Structure 1
Amino acid sequence: MALFNFANPWLFAFGILGNLVSFLVYLAPIPTFYRIVKKKSTEGFHSIPYVIALYSATLMIYYALNKSDATLLITINSFGIVIETIYLSIFIAYASKKLRVSTIKLVVLLNIVSYVMIVAVTYFFIEKPKRVQVLGGINLLLSFIVFVAPLSIIKKVIQTRSVEFMPFGLSFFLSLSAVMWFFYGLLSKDVYVAVPNILGFLFGIVQMVLYAVYKNCDSKPVEELKLPEIVKGTPEIHPVDIPKGEENDTKKKDESGAKEKTTVDAADQV
């Protein structure tokens, strides 16, 4: 297998650009993990995206090793394995006991058990030409799962009318990365690389449009829009939830108080 394919300069160019942009995408979670280390807590963050990213990178390398002229796929996914392993190590170190155990189980299940099974079955029971198609199909399915994952973020943005959890920079670079790898797959006639990146590009565009719509919106989630009222007789502010049985009594007291005030005002005027 040749180290690089210079026969098609456009293919090489999109492969290099894809590596550069994907490198930035892999580095995007650094502020998140800096926050985890600083606070010594994983807070509300989840490990699943990083476990899936590590799994995808390892499978893509095995796929690339069974192809020819796929060095640029190997380089970026090798970096992906290193950086995702670092992320997961930090996550496990600062996660709660329950979350730490579940993350380790998921890593073992996907990145060890599942990966070894796929490698063993495809290597010993499937010949190389057919092996590339089988591995490509697996990677295609996994890529769809990775790209569909932002649906939860899109839903959250619409519900909360806030782009706090969907940075524009990440959406932009994900879209740009999808464009680079789509053309790389198209020029190399690799449908397993080109097709999933169409979906990745579309989701990236949707995220950027939502960012433009909601970036200046200060609305809160529906469950947070409960306005506080000042309870009489106390300096504190509490959300008021009056039971139905007490609501009528309160209303009668207010009406009685209003009548007494009217009578006093009339007496003062006489």
Structure 2
Amino acid sequence: MAGGPFDMSHPASALAGIAGNIVSFFVFLAPMATFLRIYRKKTTGGFSSVPYVVALFSCSLLIFYALVKTESPLLLTINGFGCGIETVYIIAYLVYAPPRARLRTLAYFFILDVAAFGLVLLVTMYAFAPAHRVKFLGSVCLAFSLAVFVSPLSIIFKVIKTKSVEFLPVGLSFCLVLSAIAWFCYGLFTRDPFVMYPNVGGFFFSCVQIGLYCWYRKPSNAVLPTTTADAGNGGAADQPQVIELPVHAVAILSVSPTPILGVHKIEVMAAEQQTAIDVKDAAKAAEAVDQPEVIEIVPAPAV
């Protein structure tokens, strides 16, 4: 593209590329919350390192693609930053990961980011003439750019199995939607199919992740008023009701679709008379232990 991507004779492509850089900057920073959590817990828990290893490989490929294509400084700047931040993430993961996960991460890194990238570099430079290098390398970048968007879905089975979105990076998914839109527009305006097409898939897979989060997200627990009578009395609802039972009593909550309002806590209190039991009444006390008193708690009748 004559004049480069900053040529304001092509304002649409320039603005789309700048927007893509800005949004992608936040995409790369989105996992910071995850790693702060890892740092506080001193363990990676159920988080996977695959997205970060794949993202590092994709950024490396896109830097190589921008250098081979030339006149693509917008691709160089953001992917240079991406390589740096993904390297930091991988190092942090290795520090706090358990031994087995650490070994897997190192294996992924050397297979993908070292061996595979080195192979792509050698094939591009020595197996293709200069006129065909951009097409070959662009095709490789297209495939692995899609892998970056798909890689967070590696936890989809964990989410479905546990019905929990604890390990689903929804913030990252939302940023990827915005990034996919910006870079699709950039590829469209610069007529670069290797930038445009992977972002179609990126938009789709990111929307799938957000939909999965919305489906399995658990609503916050609602707090019921203390009693039906106190619900309309303002401050009285803040005082929980405590039910005192004898030491050998067993409380059974009645099974009913009606909520048992007013019961926030059940406390077992030792009866005062117990301290007055003398030696000759010990046999009777032992018999009382074997046959505990059963108390049923039922819902209050509707008013």
Which has the larger displacement, 11-20 or 151-160? 151-160
Contact kept in structure 2, 1:2 and 1:68, CA below 8 Å? no
Q: State the match for 2:61 in structure 1.
A: 59
Correspondences of 1:242-261 after superposition (within 5 Å): none
SS in structure 1 at match of 2:205? helix
Distance in 2 separating the partners of 1:62 and 1:127: 16
What RMSD in Å do the two structures reach over aligned CA positions?
2.5
What does the per-residue CA deviation read over 1:14-40, in whole Å, with 9 as the maximum and x for residues that have no partner? 101101111111111111111222222
Q: State the match for 1:84 in structure 2.
A: 86
Correspondences of 1:27-38 after superposition (within 5 Å): 27-38=29-40
Q: Which of 202, 205, 216 does residue 204 from structure 2 map onto?
A: 202
AA aligned opposite 2:107: K
Structure 1 residue runs without a partner (length 5+)? 219-234, 236-270
The structure where helix makes up a greater share of residues is 1
AA aligned opposite 1:114: A
**Aligned-pair distance for 1:84?**
0.4
The structure where strand makes up a greater share of residues is 2
Correspondences of 1:4-83 after superposition (within 5 Å): 4-6=5-7, 7-83=9-85
Distance in 1 separating the partners of 2:209 and 2:48: 20
Percent identity of paired positions between Structure 1 and Structure 2: 46
SS in structure 2 at match of 1:61? helix
Q: State the match for 1:225 in structure 2.
A: none
Q: Which of 148, 151, 160 does residue 149 from structure 1 map onto?
A: 151
Distance in 2 separating the partners of 1:142 and 1:159: 27
Contact kept in structure 2, 1:150 and 1:203, CA below 8 Å? no
**1:174 correspondence with 2:161:** no
AA aligned opposite 1:25: V
Correspondences of 1:105-144 after superposition (within 5 Å): 105-144=107-146
| Alpha-carbon distance change, 33 to 96 in structure 1, aligned in 2, over 3 angstroms | same
| TM-score using structure 1 length | 0.73
Q: State the match for 2:189 in structure 1.
A: 187
**Aligned-pair distance for 1:127?**
1.6
State which structure, 1 or 2, has the greater radius of gyration over its C-alpha atoms: 2
What does the per-residue CA deviation read over 1:178-198, in whole Å, with 9 as the maximum and x for residues that have no partner? 000001001111101101101
Structure 2 residue runs without a partner (length 5+)? 221-249, 251-303
Which has the larger displacement, 121-130 or 1-10? 1-10
Contact kept in structure 1, 2:51 and 2:152, CA below 8 Å? no
Contact kept in structure 1, 2:5 and 2:71, CA below 8 Å? yes
AA aligned opposite 2:194: Y
Distance in 1 separating the partners of 2:155 and 2:44: 18
Contact kept in structure 1, 2:47 and 2:167, CA below 8 Å? no
Distance in 2 separating the partners of 1:159 and 1:37: 26
